[in-house]
Amino acid sequence: MDGGTGVSGNPAGPRARCLTIGSSDSGGGAGIQGDLKAFARAGVYGASVIVGVTAQNTLGVTATTSIGTGMVGHQLKAVLDDIGTDGVKIGTTWSAELIWLLVDRLVWLDEVPVVLDPVMVSAAGSALGGDEEAVTAVREGLLPLTWVATPNMTEARRLTRLEEEKDPAKLAEAIVELGARAALITDAFPGGAGDWLFDGERHHEITGPRRASGCDHGAGCAHSALLTAFLARGMPLTRAARTAHATVSLAIEHGAADIGNGRHPVELTAGSLPW
Ligand SMILES: Nc1ncnc2c1ncn2[C@@H]1O[C@H](COP(=O)(O)OP(=O)(O)O)[C@@H](O)[C@H]1O
Ligand SMILES: Cc1ncc(COP(=O)(O)O)c(N)n1
Protein backbone atom coordinates (compact mmCIF):
# COMPACT_ATOMS: atom_id res chain seq x y z
CA MET A 1 0.00 0.00 0.00
CA ASP A 2 1.19 3.49 -0.72
CA GLY A 3 -1.21 5.33 1.58
CA GLY A 4 -2.53 7.31 -1.37
CA THR A 5 0.80 8.98 -2.10
CA GLY A 6 1.53 6.93 -5.21
CA VAL A 7 4.78 5.85 -3.59
CA SER A 8 4.97 2.17 -2.78
CA GLY A 9 8.34 2.22 -0.96
CA ASN A 10 7.83 1.19 2.66
CA PRO A 11 9.46 3.82 4.90
CA ALA A 12 10.09 1.15 7.54
CA GLY A 13 11.38 -1.38 5.00
CA PRO A 14 14.74 -1.61 3.29
CA ARG A 15 15.97 1.62 1.73
CA ALA A 16 15.90 1.84 -2.05
CA ARG A 17 19.37 1.81 -3.61
CA CYS A 18 20.36 3.79 -6.69
CA LEU A 19 23.48 3.69 -8.81
CA THR A 20 24.77 6.59 -10.86
CA ILE A 21 27.17 5.91 -13.72
CA GLY A 22 28.84 9.16 -14.77
CA SER A 23 31.73 11.54 -14.27
CA SER A 24 33.16 13.57 -11.43
CA ASP A 25 32.59 17.35 -11.37
CA SER A 26 35.39 18.85 -9.26
CA GLY A 27 33.12 21.85 -8.59
CA GLY A 28 30.67 19.57 -6.79
CA GLY A 29 27.50 20.83 -8.49
CA ALA A 30 26.82 18.38 -11.33
CA GLY A 31 27.92 14.91 -12.39
CA ILE A 32 28.45 12.20 -9.78
CA GLN A 33 28.60 14.71 -6.91
CA GLY A 34 25.29 16.31 -7.91
CA ASP A 35 23.67 12.91 -8.40
CA LEU A 36 24.67 11.67 -4.94
CA LYS A 37 23.25 14.83 -3.35
CA ALA A 38 20.00 14.30 -5.26
CA PHE A 39 19.83 10.65 -4.20
CA ALA A 40 20.32 11.68 -0.57
CA ARG A 41 17.59 14.33 -0.90
CA ALA A 42 15.22 11.73 -2.33
CA GLY A 43 15.91 9.33 0.54
CA VAL A 44 17.68 6.57 -1.39
CA TYR A 45 21.10 5.08 -0.80
CA GLY A 46 23.49 6.23 -3.54
CA ALA A 47 26.38 4.31 -5.10
CA SER A 48 28.52 5.50 -8.02
CA VAL A 49 30.55 4.15 -10.90
CA ILE A 50 32.93 6.84 -12.15
CA VAL A 51 33.61 6.68 -15.88
CA GLY A 52 35.39 10.01 -16.26
CA VAL A 53 36.83 12.94 -14.34
CA THR A 54 36.39 16.60 -15.21
CA ALA A 55 38.33 19.60 -13.95
CA GLN A 56 35.32 21.88 -13.71
CA ASN A 57 33.84 24.82 -11.86
CA THR A 58 30.86 27.10 -12.40
CA LEU A 59 32.67 28.79 -15.32
CA GLY A 60 33.20 25.63 -17.36
CA VAL A 61 35.27 22.51 -17.94
CA THR A 62 39.04 22.94 -18.30
CA ALA A 63 40.19 19.31 -18.62
CA THR A 64 38.69 15.84 -18.89
CA THR A 65 39.89 12.27 -18.76
CA SER A 66 38.01 9.03 -19.06
CA ILE A 67 38.50 5.98 -16.83
CA GLY A 68 39.56 2.75 -18.56
CA THR A 69 36.78 0.25 -19.25
CA GLY A 70 38.59 -2.37 -17.10
CA MET A 71 38.26 -0.15 -14.01
CA VAL A 72 34.67 0.74 -14.91
CA GLY A 73 33.92 -3.00 -15.06
CA HIS A 74 35.49 -3.53 -11.61
CA GLN A 75 33.39 -0.72 -10.11
CA LEU A 76 30.18 -2.10 -11.62
CA LYS A 77 30.92 -5.59 -10.31
CA ALA A 78 31.80 -4.30 -6.84
CA VAL A 79 28.53 -2.37 -6.54
CA LEU A 80 26.19 -4.89 -8.15
CA ASP A 81 27.66 -8.04 -6.49
CA ASP A 82 27.26 -6.69 -2.97
CA ILE A 83 24.99 -3.66 -2.70
CA GLY A 84 22.67 -4.20 -5.67
CA THR A 85 20.43 -1.50 -7.06
CA ASP A 86 16.79 -0.53 -7.50
CA GLY A 87 17.51 2.17 -10.10
CA VAL A 88 20.33 3.13 -12.45
CA LYS A 89 21.11 6.56 -13.82
CA ILE A 90 23.56 6.95 -16.69
CA GLY A 91 25.08 10.39 -17.33
CA THR A 92 28.23 11.09 -19.33
CA THR A 93 29.14 8.25 -21.68
CA TRP A 94 32.49 9.14 -23.21
CA SER A 95 33.10 6.45 -25.81
CA ALA A 96 31.48 3.67 -27.80
CA GLU A 97 33.71 1.15 -25.99
CA LEU A 98 32.42 2.29 -22.61
CA ILE A 99 28.80 2.29 -23.78
CA TRP A 100 29.01 -1.28 -25.07
CA LEU A 101 30.52 -2.39 -21.74
CA LEU A 102 27.56 -0.80 -19.92
CA VAL A 103 25.12 -2.51 -22.28
CA ASP A 104 26.82 -5.85 -21.66
CA ARG A 105 26.49 -5.47 -17.86
CA LEU A 106 23.13 -3.71 -17.53
CA VAL A 107 21.25 -6.10 -19.82
CA TRP A 108 21.24 -8.56 -16.88
CA LEU A 109 19.39 -6.19 -14.53
CA ASP A 110 15.80 -7.37 -14.51
CA GLU A 111 12.99 -4.90 -13.86
CA VAL A 112 15.32 -2.19 -12.58
CA PRO A 113 14.50 1.26 -13.95
CA VAL A 114 17.30 2.66 -16.10
CA VAL A 115 17.31 6.42 -16.70
CA LEU A 116 19.59 7.71 -19.45
CA ASP A 117 20.55 11.39 -19.33
CA PRO A 118 22.65 11.61 -22.48
CA VAL A 119 24.95 14.44 -21.38
CA MET A 120 26.90 15.96 -24.26
CA VAL A 121 27.43 19.56 -23.14
CA SER A 122 27.43 21.18 -19.68
CA ALA A 123 25.12 24.05 -18.69
CA ALA A 124 28.10 26.37 -19.27
CA GLY A 125 28.43 25.02 -22.82
CA SER A 126 31.53 22.81 -22.46
CA ALA A 127 31.76 19.58 -24.48
CA LEU A 128 31.46 16.43 -22.36
CA GLY A 129 32.04 13.63 -24.84
CA GLY A 130 29.68 12.01 -27.28
CA ASP A 131 31.41 11.61 -30.68
CA GLU A 132 29.45 10.11 -33.60
CA GLU A 133 30.51 6.55 -32.75
CA ALA A 134 29.34 7.02 -29.16
CA VAL A 135 26.01 8.45 -30.33
CA THR A 136 25.53 5.37 -32.54
CA ALA A 137 26.31 3.08 -29.58
CA VAL A 138 23.77 4.95 -27.42
CA ARG A 139 21.14 4.59 -30.16
CA GLU A 140 21.80 0.94 -30.87
CA GLY A 141 22.86 -0.35 -27.45
CA LEU A 142 21.69 1.83 -24.58
CA LEU A 143 18.32 3.18 -25.72
CA PRO A 144 16.79 -0.31 -26.00
CA LEU A 145 17.70 -0.88 -22.30
CA THR A 146 16.44 2.51 -21.21
CA TRP A 147 13.21 3.06 -19.30
CA VAL A 148 13.32 6.84 -19.53
CA ALA A 149 15.68 8.94 -21.67
CA THR A 150 15.97 12.55 -20.46
CA PRO A 151 17.74 14.56 -23.19
CA ASN A 152 17.33 18.29 -23.63
CA MET A 153 16.21 19.49 -27.08
CA THR A 154 19.77 19.65 -28.47
CA GLU A 155 20.63 16.17 -27.23
CA ALA A 156 17.31 14.80 -28.49
CA ARG A 157 17.99 16.17 -31.98
CA ARG A 158 21.47 14.68 -31.93
CA LEU A 159 20.24 11.25 -30.75
CA THR A 160 17.42 11.04 -33.27
CA ARG A 161 19.40 12.73 -36.07
CA LEU A 162 16.37 14.98 -36.61
CA GLU A 163 18.60 18.05 -36.56
CA GLU A 164 15.89 20.52 -37.64
CA GLU A 165 13.02 19.17 -35.51
CA LYS A 166 11.49 21.76 -33.16
CA ASP A 167 8.54 19.73 -31.87
CA PRO A 168 9.38 17.94 -28.58
CA ALA A 169 6.51 15.48 -29.19
CA LYS A 170 8.08 14.29 -32.45
CA LEU A 171 11.52 14.01 -30.85
CA ALA A 172 10.11 12.06 -27.90
CA GLU A 173 8.27 9.66 -30.22
CA ALA A 174 11.43 9.15 -32.26
CA ILE A 175 13.39 8.25 -29.11
CA VAL A 176 10.76 5.70 -28.13
CA GLU A 177 10.90 4.32 -31.66
CA LEU A 178 14.64 3.81 -31.14
CA GLY A 179 13.85 1.53 -28.19
CA ALA A 180 13.46 3.57 -24.99
CA ARG A 181 10.25 2.86 -23.07
CA ALA A 182 9.68 6.58 -22.51
CA ALA A 183 11.24 9.92 -23.36
CA LEU A 184 11.26 13.04 -21.18
CA ILE A 185 12.59 16.01 -23.12
CA THR A 186 13.84 18.66 -20.69
CA ASP A 187 13.46 22.41 -21.11
CA ALA A 188 11.21 21.75 -24.07
CA PHE A 189 9.38 25.09 -24.26
CA PRO A 190 11.21 28.11 -25.66
CA GLY A 191 10.25 31.13 -23.55
CA GLY A 192 8.53 28.99 -20.89
CA ALA A 193 9.83 26.28 -18.61
CA GLY A 194 9.06 22.61 -18.38
CA ASP A 195 9.44 19.22 -19.93
CA TRP A 196 7.69 17.00 -22.48
CA LEU A 197 6.96 13.41 -21.48
CA PHE A 198 5.94 10.66 -23.90
CA ASP A 199 5.31 7.51 -21.87
CA GLY A 200 5.11 5.28 -24.92
CA GLU A 201 1.35 5.75 -25.22
CA ARG A 202 0.43 9.24 -24.11
CA HIS A 203 1.98 12.69 -24.19
CA HIS A 204 2.17 14.83 -21.04
CA GLU A 205 3.21 18.48 -20.81
CA ILE A 206 4.95 19.35 -17.57
CA THR A 207 5.05 23.10 -17.16
CA GLY A 208 6.06 25.58 -14.47
CA PRO A 209 7.50 29.05 -14.01
CA ARG A 210 10.85 29.89 -15.62
CA ARG A 211 13.45 30.74 -12.95
CA ALA A 212 16.02 33.43 -13.64
CA SER A 213 18.33 33.01 -10.64
CA GLY A 214 21.36 32.02 -12.73
CA CYS A 215 21.73 28.90 -10.56
CA ASP A 216 21.28 26.06 -13.05
CA HIS A 217 24.62 24.26 -12.93
CA GLY A 218 23.69 20.65 -12.22
CA ALA A 219 19.98 21.09 -13.02
CA GLY A 220 19.94 18.29 -15.61
CA CYS A 221 21.90 15.92 -13.37
CA ALA A 222 19.69 16.60 -10.35
CA HIS A 223 16.57 16.13 -12.48
CA SER A 224 17.52 12.71 -13.88
CA ALA A 225 18.92 11.52 -10.53
CA LEU A 226 15.70 12.51 -8.72
CA LEU A 227 13.66 10.78 -11.42
CA THR A 228 15.73 7.60 -10.95
CA ALA A 229 15.25 7.74 -7.17
CA PHE A 230 11.50 8.31 -7.43
CA LEU A 231 11.11 5.39 -9.85
CA ALA A 232 13.28 3.21 -7.59
CA ARG A 233 10.89 4.07 -4.74
CA GLY A 234 7.94 2.93 -6.84
CA MET A 235 6.46 6.26 -7.90
CA PRO A 236 4.53 6.13 -11.18
CA LEU A 237 6.34 7.73 -14.13
CA THR A 238 4.16 10.79 -14.74
CA ARG A 239 4.18 11.71 -11.08
CA ALA A 240 7.93 11.10 -10.82
CA ALA A 241 8.53 13.36 -13.84
CA ARG A 242 6.34 16.14 -12.44
CA THR A 243 7.92 15.93 -8.98
CA ALA A 244 11.46 15.91 -10.43
CA HIS A 245 10.73 19.05 -12.46
CA ALA A 246 9.07 20.87 -9.56
CA THR A 247 11.93 19.98 -7.21
CA VAL A 248 14.64 21.09 -9.65
CA SER A 249 12.75 24.27 -10.46
CA LEU A 250 12.84 25.21 -6.75
CA ALA A 251 16.49 24.14 -6.59
CA ILE A 252 17.26 26.66 -9.34
CA GLU A 253 15.20 29.41 -7.69
CA HIS A 254 16.87 28.84 -4.31
CA GLY A 255 20.23 27.95 -5.85
CA ALA A 256 23.74 28.34 -4.44
CA ALA A 257 24.20 31.94 -5.66
CA ASP A 258 27.13 32.38 -3.26
CA ILE A 259 29.15 29.60 -4.91
CA GLY A 260 31.42 30.37 -7.88
CA ASN A 261 31.42 33.19 -10.41
CA GLY A 262 29.62 31.57 -13.35
CA ARG A 263 26.48 29.43 -13.63
CA HIS A 264 25.96 28.84 -9.91
CA PRO A 265 24.97 25.34 -8.74
CA VAL A 266 21.44 24.26 -7.92
CA GLU A 267 20.68 23.76 -4.23
CA LEU A 268 18.36 20.88 -3.48
CA THR A 269 17.21 21.95 -0.06
CA ALA A 270 14.04 23.93 -0.85
CA GLY A 271 10.52 22.52 -0.97
CA SER A 272 9.13 19.30 0.42
CA LEU A 273 9.18 15.87 -1.15
CA PRO A 274 6.17 13.56 -0.88
CA TRP A 275 7.44 11.40 2.02
N1 LIG B 1 15.27 28.37 -15.87
C2 LIG B 1 14.58 27.31 -15.49
N3 LIG B 1 13.48 27.44 -14.70
C4 LIG B 1 12.77 26.38 -14.29
N5 LIG B 1 13.08 25.11 -14.61
C6 LIG B 1 14.18 24.90 -15.38
C7 LIG B 1 14.97 25.98 -15.87
N8 LIG B 1 16.00 25.46 -16.62
C9 LIG B 1 15.85 24.13 -16.59
N10 LIG B 1 14.76 23.79 -15.84
C11 LIG B 1 14.31 22.43 -15.53
O12 LIG B 1 15.42 21.74 -14.99
C13 LIG B 1 15.38 20.37 -15.38
C14 LIG B 1 16.68 20.02 -16.10
O15 LIG B 1 16.59 20.52 -17.41
P16 LIG B 1 17.78 21.03 -18.32
O17 LIG B 1 18.39 22.25 -17.74
O18 LIG B 1 17.24 21.09 -19.70
O19 LIG B 1 18.81 19.85 -18.25
P20 LIG B 1 20.21 19.76 -19.02
O21 LIG B 1 21.20 20.27 -18.00
O22 LIG B 1 20.31 18.30 -19.27
O23 LIG B 1 20.12 20.60 -20.26
C24 LIG B 1 14.11 20.21 -16.23
O25 LIG B 1 13.03 19.77 -15.44
C26 LIG B 1 13.87 21.64 -16.73
O27 LIG B 1 12.51 21.90 -17.07
C1 LIG C 1 30.75 15.59 -14.96
C2 LIG C 1 29.53 16.28 -15.45
N3 LIG C 1 28.44 15.55 -15.78
C4 LIG C 1 27.33 16.18 -16.21
C5 LIG C 1 27.29 17.55 -16.34
C6 LIG C 1 26.03 18.22 -16.84
O7 LIG C 1 25.64 19.26 -16.00
P8 LIG C 1 24.18 19.92 -16.03
O9 LIG C 1 23.34 19.14 -15.07
O10 LIG C 1 24.41 21.34 -15.59
O11 LIG C 1 23.70 19.81 -17.44
C12 LIG C 1 28.43 18.29 -15.99
N13 LIG C 1 28.46 19.65 -16.10
N14 LIG C 1 29.55 17.62 -15.55
Tens digit of each residue's pLDDT (9 = 90 or more) over 38-73:
999 999 999 999 999 999 999 999 999 999 999 999
Q: Hey, whose CA ends up nearest to atom 13 of ligand 2?
A: 122
Using alpha carbons only, give the angle 76, 80, 82 rounded to the nearest 5 degrees: 125
CB neighbour list of residue 204: distance below 8 Å, 6 or more residues apart: 196, 197, 198, 238, 241
State the Cα–Cα distance between residues 256 and 224, nearest whole angstrom: 19
Which residue, among 247, 188, 251, 245, has the nearest Cα to 216 in the 3D structure?
251
Residues composing the chain: 275
Amino acid in the structure at residue 187: D
Dihedrals phi, psi of 202, to nearest 5 degrees:
-125, 155
For the chain, give the mean pLDDT. 92
Contact 129, 94 (CB under 8 A): yes
Tens digit of each residue's pLDDT (9 = 90 or more) over 137-193:
999 999 999 999 999 999 999 999 999 999 999 999 999 999 999 999 999 998 889
Element (H, E) at 173: helix 168-177
Q: Reading across the β-sheet that carries 45-57, which strands appear in turn? A: 60-66, 45-57, 17-25, 87-90, 114-116, 148-149, 182-185, 193-198, 203-208
State the Cα–Cα distance between residues 105 and 175, nearest whole angstrom: 22
ipTM attached to this prediction? 0.98
- Domains of the chain plus CATH, in order, are 15-252 (3.40.1190.20)
Looking at the CA of 255, name the nearest ligand: 1
For ligand 1, which residues put their CB under 6 angstroms from it?
123, 152, 186-187, 193-195, 210-211, 216, 219-220, 223, 245, 248-249, 252
Dihedrals phi, psi of 47, to nearest 5 degrees:
-120, 165
Would you state the pLDDT for residue 122? Answer: 64
The whole-model pTM stands at 0.94
